[in-house]
Amino acid sequence: MSLAENQSRRRGGREARQAMRAKPVPLAEGAVRPGMVGGQYKPLTQLDMERIHETALKLLETVGFGSPIPSCIEALTAKGAFLKNGRLCLPRTLVEDTIAKAARHFPLYARDPKHDLEPWGNKVYFGTAGAAVHVVDIEKREYRESFLADLYDAARIVDTCEHIHFFQRVLTARDMITGHDLDINTLYGSIAGTTKHVGTSMVDPVHVEECLKILHLVAGGEDKWRERPFVSQSNCFVVPPLTFAEDACKCLEVAARGGMPVLLLSAAQAGATAPAALAGTVVQAVAECLMGLCYINAVVPGAKAIWGPWPFVSDLRTGAMSGGSGEQALITSACAQMGHFYDLTVGSAAGMCDSKMPDIQAGYEKGVTAGISAMTGINLMYESAGMHASLLGFCLESLLIDNDMLGSINRNVRGIEVNDATLSFEVISDVCLVGPGHYLGSDQTLSMMQSEYMYPKLGNRMSPKEWNEAGKPDILERAIAKKNEILSTHFPETISREIDDLIRANHDIKLPRSYMQPKG
């Protein structure tokens, strides 16, 4: 073959690959999709898990929980719980019976059914979460207060991110003056910005009732809401260690009775509100979340409950939280394993970082914590995108950068399929014996470009020469440009004008309708 023929063939193969890459691919044929099956990483042995379980049961029966509210006492004592020195204790049999009867294999619905989640077994889904009080302005390299418009913008960006599978509120809107304004408008801003499953929280049971009324309107009636509840409540029912949170408990009861899935969230901090020993931190988180499971099932048997041990790590030199630490990956992974031990839908937190900006530190902290935790097969990974400064800061551009990262992590979760076709005997034989001595233009290479490989949207794979000729772009510049493009063009119509008019007539919605429309 002449040099010209060889160059033409190589150019033709490259053009074919580029055309293949540009061609839209059905989700089912892509290299990754929501709900890839993990479970490869197991920091705990079977004996470890059994010992953690036994210790948690002992805590629940002998130490119990402080500050139970009357309705909690009534519901749980009717099932066999008892009071000892003012603390509510659970006998082993009650806990074991609850685990056996708890709801399993329930979907988390989205407004658009294509985004429905099946969080059971070792299926992995990535989502946001957090209550940041600042937004990172990466162009000015400074922090500013977070506002309701930022929440809506975050939801809109997540709506376009293929590797972020659900949206839980990422920030506290500081322009909302009252708790009522915050709860109602956080819900509204979230569901207005995305058709994916939404998680949020409420501070008062009256606010939960009002949120349910809004959701009934959006769903087309209470019956349709109950058929496909597309919003879950993140509920910190416990103040670690082992103490009930009164207002959150009241919110839990209203949500459960209203058909809203509830994330039973325990968020202790190792060395501060949980033991410094990592195993002890996991024990406490397990005990607290088992109490939550018994509680919600005593209120509504078979309630849809996400088992949510979310222990965090302290930097014991200062006492500050360290969400980007290697220890965070360990305890999150251990909690995921314990969820599988009970065969419960398990959600925990990984992917936040201590770095204040989307920089090299942020990259390695997020990659380690999210990557390792995902490999356990955690069902729902919260706080996996956008979070900085150990959850004090949120960055819109980081959603897009982290979306790339989560796609790569999901590819690792999927692993390597070994079968007759992928072992490639005939392909290797043909290339070596017939030619051309490489695989660049082979049918297998072209056919597997999308199904076997992930491609970053923002990550730069140019050669140094190409990069220099393109003006030396960096990922932050590309993220800023992509953010601006999305926020100027993507205004999802998740709520009809008629329903929006009803909501605004009956509820104090602070997000201006003009902000939710293209400008100009």
Assess if residue 18 is contained within a domain.
no
Q: Are residues 343 and 448 in the same domain?
A: no
pLDDT of the residue at 12: 57
Judge whether residue 356 has pLDDT over 60. yes
Q: Are residues 117 and 174 in the same domain?
A: yes
Closest CA relative to residue 203, chosen from 246, 265, 264: 246
| Average pLDDT score over residue span 383-398 | 97
Q: Are residues 390 and 451 in the same domain?
A: no
Q: Are residues 436 and 335 in the same domain?
A: no
Distance linking the first and last C-alpha atoms of the chain: 58
pLDDT of the residue at 15: 67
pLDDT digits (tens, 9 = 90+) for 288-306: 999 999 999 999 999 999 9
The more confidently predicted of residues 4 and 160 is 160
Judge whether residue 45 has pLDDT over 70. yes
Confidence of residue 28 (pLDDT cuts 50, 70, 90): confident
Q: Are residues 314 and 430 in the same domain?
A: no
pLDDT of the residue at 8: 52
Judge whether residue 24 has pLDDT over 80. no
Assess if residue 493 is contained within a domain.
no
Identify the DSSP state of 452: S
| Average pLDDT score over residue span 178-189 | 98
Give the separation between CA 68 and CA 243, rounded to whole angstroms: 8
Assess if residue 203 is contained within a domain.
yes
Closest CA relative to residue 373, chosen from 277, 431, 309, 463: 309
Among 95-109, 116-130, 304-318, 443-457, name the one with the lowest average pLDDT: 443-457
Q: Are residues 408 and 448 in the same domain?
A: no
Mean pLDDT of the chain: 94
Residue 296 C-alpha from the chain's centroid: 22
Q: Are residues 376 and 448 in the same domain?
A: no
Domain count, the chain: 2
The contacts of residue 361 (CB under 8 Å, 6+ apart) are: 324, 353, 354, 355
Assess if residue 120 is contained within a domain.
yes
Q: Are residues 264 and 191 in the same domain?
A: yes
Domain range enclosing 194: 105-275+306-414
Instruction: Please say which residue of 360, 386, 414 terminates a domain.
Output: 414
The answer to whether 314 touches 291, Cβ cutoff 8 Å, is: no
Q: Are residues 332 and 439 in the same domain?
A: no
| Average pLDDT score over residue span 197-210 | 98
Give the separation between CA 334 and CA 43, rounded to whole angstroms: 6
pLDDT of the residue at 26: 76
The answer to whether 260 touches 296, Cβ cutoff 8 Å, is: no
Cα dihedral 312→316→318→322 (10° resolution): -30
Judge whether residue 208 has pLDDT over 80. yes
- Structure tokens given for 51: 């010992």
| Average pLDDT score over residue span 204-214 | 98
Residue 17 class from Cβ within 10 Å (0-12 exposed, 13-18 middle, 19+ buried)? middle
Judge whether residue 1 has pLDDT over 90. no
Assess if residue 62 is contained within a domain.
no
| Average pLDDT score over residue span 347-360 | 97
Q: Backbone dihedral region of 289: left (phi > 0), alpha (psi from -120 to 50 degrees) or beta?
A: alpha
pLDDT of the residue at 435: 86
Confidence of residue 9 (pLDDT cuts 50, 70, 90): low
Assess if residue 252 is contained within a domain.
yes
pLDDT of the residue at 277: 97
Neighbours of 416 (CB within 10 A): 7
* CA angle (330 as vertex; 326, 332 as ends), nearest 5: 115
- Structure tokens given for 296: 């919600």
pLDDT of the residue at 30: 87
Give the separation between CA 403 and CA 457, rounded to whole angstroms: 9
Give the separation between CA 42 and CA 229, rounded to whole angstroms: 33
The answer to whether 262 touches 237, Cβ cutoff 8 Å, is: no
Closest CA relative to residue 199, chosen from 398, 381, 376: 381
Give one DSSP letter per residue of 53-122, joined into a string.
Answer: HHHHHHHHHHT-BBS--HHHHHHHHTTT-EEETTEEE--HHHHHHHHHHS--S--B--SSGGG-B---TT
Q: Are residues 433 and 316 in the same domain?
A: no
Residues in the chain: 520
The contacts of residue 336 (CB under 8 Å, 6+ apart) are: 346, 348, 373, 376, 377, 378, 379
Q: Are residues 406 and 432 in the same domain?
A: no
Assess if residue 50 is contained within a domain.
no
| Average pLDDT score over residue span 480-504 | 97
| Average pLDDT score over residue span 257-261 | 98
Q: Nearest 5°: phi and psi at 250? A: -65, -40
Assess if residue 351 is contained within a domain.
yes
% of the chain exceeding 90 in pLDDT: 91
CATH of the domain at 187: 3.20.20.480
Confidence of residue 11 (pLDDT cuts 50, 70, 90): low
Q: Are residues 169 and 224 in the same domain?
A: yes
pTM to 2 decimal places: 0.94
| Average pLDDT score over residue span 345-368 | 97
- Structure tokens given for 287: 């005990």
pLDDT of the residue at 23: 65
Residue type at position 319: G
